[in-house]
Amino acid sequence: MSTWKPDDKWLIGIVLAVINFWLFAQTLLNVIPGIQGELGIERTIGNLAVSITSLFSGIFIVVAGGLADRLGRVKLMYAGIYLSILGSLLIALTPENLGGLTSSLLLGGRIVQGLSAACIMPSTMALVKTYYAGKERQRALSFWSIGSWGGSGFCALFGGLMATSVFGWRSIFWISIVLSILALFLLRGTPESKAESAGPAARFDFGGLIAFIIALVAINVYISQGPAMGWLSLAGIGLVVISVIAALVFFSIESRKEHAFLDLKLFGNMTFTGATLSNFLLNGAAGTLIVALGLVQVAAGLSSLQSGLLTLGYLISIIATIRVGEKLLQRFGPRRPMIWGSAIAGLGILLTSMTFVLVDQYLVLAVIGFTLFGVGLGFYATPSTDAALSSVPDNQAGAAAGIYKMASSLGNAIGVAVSAALYAAAQAANPDMIRSWGLFIGNQENVGLRFGGAVGVLFNLLMVVIAIISIMVTVPRGTQKTGNEVPATPSIGA
């Protein structure tokens, strides 16, 4: 543990660095319809611009985590902040109606933002582990979580507010640049932190990375385009086959390599495995927001800003309960608050799945459901992050943080894609059959739409249930030590 002690200004700088992705980059999800019209780009390009950032951050975050351990966590953090400035600048300066140039700058900016997040998230988590211990680390992780979970909770509302203000949508990215510069100022003077060298650096595992990219891209295209191309079409089956073969090649390479792109040995640590898997599933449950907010816009005629206001309780409850999760961690250890938080989030998702009621009733249920969802995530965030980081040795902190945050990005991307695909596919169900159940009250002309919404949301509830089971199986009971003395591979029940 380093003798250098960071102050609260340094911690604020960390939060500002983290929030650049979770708040500013993610706002594009809500403002893309306006951007498409103003910039004159095709809808397909707009959809790609939304998804490509999470894809690049998810793919390269483990690479960046390993580089942070080897080259220096502060170097990677600064690189990420500079990339965030560059990505935001490209988007803010994207010209209108210039065809390929417009698309290139927009997509280029989004790719750079994804690479920025890949650098910032594991390096900042590793720095928090390095320069804090015990309760101080748990407090720092709570603030880190406010930057990530709180930013994701605020992005839809913030994006809608800025896009409809006199400043316009470009102001989102100018503000991001300003806060990035402020983060650089607050973080200046941070001493470098690296993992202890275990010998000469090995050659990078390009084979594993390429197989990983092919597997993920193929399955994401299949999930997102399945309703259009046909789940059992030749193209669809081909994508599944490609993804499966690439995944098998990936695991074959990683299991044999001593210095693999993705250190699978970390998953021998059951606590780390449980925290990472449940983190993937809880982030995947973000598909609830996509489906529910899209449903009320179509079925109830709400605007994007009005639908975003339904998530206000989600934002407030996340920020208000993250520190509560920290206190629960200190009293009970990570297992109980992780389970409690997941269960509360599941209850909130269940309420938002009740699309069979009248519109006014559903809006009330959605507000309550989103608020409970936020409470659950607030309880879960700090215990999960602390469990993941405290259970690995310092020389693997960057790689472990990279894998943990890869689970966040990929869980979000895959969960949203599957939820949206199920939402679209289930709408094709026979409306007469749905009416015969006598479950959907009110307007009978949109029962297919409402049924699709229920199916899309209930998929997220299933993920939460699996997350609870994974926590119960993998995370040990009782309080967990924090610090460098924690063994790398604790057994279940230890």
Listed by start position, the domains of the chain span: 1-137+156-189, 205-260, 265-494
Write the DSSP string, 183-236. Answer: HHHHHTTPPP--PPP-SSPPPP-HHHHHHHHHHHHHHHHHHHHHHHH-TTSHHH
**Under CATH, what is the fold of the domain 265-494?**
Growth Hormone; Chain: A; (1.20.1250)
Quickly tell me which residue has 């009970």 as its tokens. 332
Contact status, residue 80 vs residue 176, Cβ threshold 8 Å: no
Q: Is the pLDDT of residue 34 over 80?
A: no
Q: How far apart are CA 301 and CA 306, in angstroms?
A: 10
Q: In the structure, what pLDDT confidence band is assigned to residue 484 with cuts at 50, 70 and 90? A: very low
Q: Which two tokens stand for residue 312?
A: 């206000």
Contact status, residue 148 vs residue 18, Cβ threshold 8 Å: yes
Backbone φ, ψ for residue 284 (5° rounding): -65, -30
Asked if domains 1-137+156-189 and 265-494 share a fold, the reply is: yes
Please state the length of the chain: 494
DSSP at 493: T
Q: What is the tens place of the pLDDT at every residue in 230-288? A: 778 888 899 999 999 999 998 888 887 777 777 777 888 888 999 999 999 998 888 88
Mean pLDDT across the chain:
83
pLDDT above 70 coverage of the chain, percent: 90
Q: How far apart are CA 399 and CA 167, in angstroms?
A: 40
Report pLDDT for 47.
66
Of 325, 9, 286, the C-alpha closest to 146 is 325
Of 199, 25, 22, the C-alpha closest to 124 is 22
Query: Which range, 140-149, 466-475, 481-490, has the best average confidence (pLDDT)?
Result: 466-475
pLDDT above 90 coverage of the chain, percent: 30
Q: Is the pLDDT of residue 490 over 90?
A: no
Among 35-44, 209-218, 342-351, the least confident range:
35-44
Give me the CATH code for the 1-137+156-189 domain, please. 1.20.1250.20
Among 70-74, 206-210, 485-489, the least confident range:
485-489
Q: What is the tens place of the pLDDT at every residue in 117-139? A: 989 988 898 888 888 888 888 78
Amino acid sitting at position 346: G
Q: In the structure, what pLDDT confidence band is assigned to residue 169 with cuts at 50, 70 and 90? A: confident
Q: How far apart are CA 155 and CA 119, in angstroms?
A: 21
Q: In the structure, what pLDDT confidence band is assigned to residue 224 with cuts at 50, 70 and 90? A: low
Q: What is the tens place of the pLDDT at every residue in 58-79? A: 888 878 877 887 888 999 999 9
Q: Is the pLDDT of residue 438 over 60?
A: yes
Q: Is the pLDDT of residue 432 over 60?
A: yes
Report pLDDT for 108.
92
Contact status, residue 180 vs residue 147, Cβ threshold 8 Å: no
Q: What is the tens place of the pLDDT at every residue in 391-424? A: 777 667 667 777 887 888 788 778 877 887 888 8
Report pLDDT for 494.
30
Q: Which two tokens stand for residue 310?
A: 């339904």
Angstrom CA distances, 367 to 12, 203, 327, 362, 363, stand at 30, 51, 26, 9, 6
Mean pLDDT of 361-371: 94
